[in-house]
Amino acid sequence: MRSKQKGFSLIELLIVTVIILVIAAVAIPNLMRSRMSANEASAVASVRTLITAEIVYSSTYTVGFSSDLLSLSDGGAPANCIAPAVPAPSSACLIDATLGSGTKSGYVFTYAAAGGGGTNSTFTLKADPITSAYGQRHFYTDATDVLRVNFTAPASPSDPAL
């Protein structure tokens, strides 16, 4: 009398493997779209944070807008934002060091001050994805505080508001 072997047959294992691969093929593109959407939402939130930080900076220091993103954060030295240090125009401690570095959540933030300083100064801020895998939308704002978006190229003042 033969004893019955325990375990799965090769066919059963292949069927389970195929099912798992089909589920993965459906799920991975959705996961990538979700990550891209999260990166774009983070970029919008970061641009809005930078707009608010610029408004606070210009009203606190009455020297116009900041000269760069690093001035809005710790100025390159984390100790500048730890008590008893006092924020200053070169290290205002209004944003975190990650955003102050100019790269966050797959986006590169390009900040340019203009107007020579003082109360007549202005700025432009662009947020562009590092690659198309991180996001498809490009963002732009300036001293008007209107967030603009472009789906195909770096955004500009002529693009529609978000």
**Sign of the CA dihedral with 60 first, then 65, 67, and 71 last:** positive
pLDDT at position 38, please?
95
- Six-digit token pair at 34? 């979700």
For the segment 56-71, the average pLDDT, to the nearest whole number, is: 86
pLDDT at position 116, please?
59
Domain boundaries, the chain: 11-150
pLDDT at position 1, please?
55
Is 2 a residue whose pLDDT tops 70?
Answer: no
Cβ contact 66:51 at 8 Å = no
C-alpha 106/C-alpha 113 separation (Å) is: 23
Is 117 a residue whose pLDDT tops 60?
Answer: no
The confidence band for 76, taking pLDDT boundaries of 50, 70 and 90, is confident
